[in-house]
Amino acid sequence: MYQDTNNLHIATENITKSYRSGDAKTVALKNVSLRIAQGEFIMITGRNGSGKSTLLHQLGLLDSPDTGEIYINGREVTRLSEKKRMDMRLRQLGYIFQEYALVAELSALENVMLPAMMIGTSKDARDKALTLLAKVGLRDKARRLPTQLSGGEQQKVAIARALINAPRILFADEPTANLDTIASKDVLRIFKSLNEQEHITIAMITHEPEELEYATRHIKLSDGKLV
């Protein structure tokens, strides 16, 4: 069992994960042990199929490893009930996805408010959401639907939504993959500001070598193992 959790937001001990498709078995992660300290900005790279998204899903409690242990803020989380895992995801962790994952029928403001509504903190949700939209430069587009926003604007709404419950850890799965160069730099500057000024820990997957300069540390996966 991992005991030294001082100054760590995330620690894993020999986690493995495999998937089955019929008779075929794919081992996505192989005995991965990783430490992420508070305030780090980690970039995760590797070829397609190397296990990047699988690792991020384990760290973010979106999936569970077959074996091994995961600690978040010193707490072992792999054996928690799904209800407790969901509560932890909503209250302590934030997620930004490649495809934005906005609700098409909701305005930008309503999309940002949604996680706060899910944990019953709707009283101040509107004001918090407007403040976050202003932080990402979209206060004037709060009433627009996702289809009325550019890809970069939708991703900024997704970032604001991820921050509504004040998480201390953000997970981002190729958040710039569908964006042009200018929009990508805007998103990365927001991440850098969140990391440096608000000391939010960030773990992000990227395929773009030039994005590594924004990170404080770079880790690489190959065939399910840390390189």
Q: What is the pLDDT of residues 115-149, one digit of tens each?
A: 998 887 666 899 999 999 999 999 999 999 999 99
Residue 212 CB coordination number (10 Å)? 12
pLDDT at 6: 55
Mean pLDDT of 23-40: 93
pLDDT at 121: 62
Per residue in 39-67, pLDDT tens?
A: 999 999 999 999 999 999 999 999 999 99
pLDDT at 137: 94
Q: Which residue has the tokens 């590797």?
A: 46
Per residue in 64-105, pLDDT tens?
A: 999 999 999 889 999 899 999 999 999 999 999 988 999 999
Is the Cβ–Cβ distance between 78 and 11 less than 8 Å?
no
Q: Per the confidence metrics, is the pTM higher than 0.75?
A: yes
Residue 39 makes CB contacts below 8 A (sequence gap 6+) with 195, 199, 200, 201, 216
Task: Kindly list the distances between the CA atom of residue 129 and the CA atoms of 37, 124, 180, in Å, as whole numbers in the listed order.
Answer: 28, 9, 26
User: CA-CA distance, 153 to 183, in Å (whole number)?
Assistant: 8
Is the Cβ–Cβ distance between 89 and 61 less than 8 Å?
yes
User: At residue 5, what is the residue type?
Assistant: T
Per residue in 104-113, pLDDT tens?
A: 999 999 999 9
Is pLDDT of 184 > 90? yes
Q: Residues 13, 17, 18, CA angle at the centre, nearest 5°?
A: 160
pLDDT at 8: 76
pLDDT at 2: 47
pLDDT at 60: 94
Q: For each of the domains in the chain, give its residue range(s) and CATH number, in order of start.
A: 41-58+82-226 (3.40.50.300)
4 or 184, higher pLDDT: 184
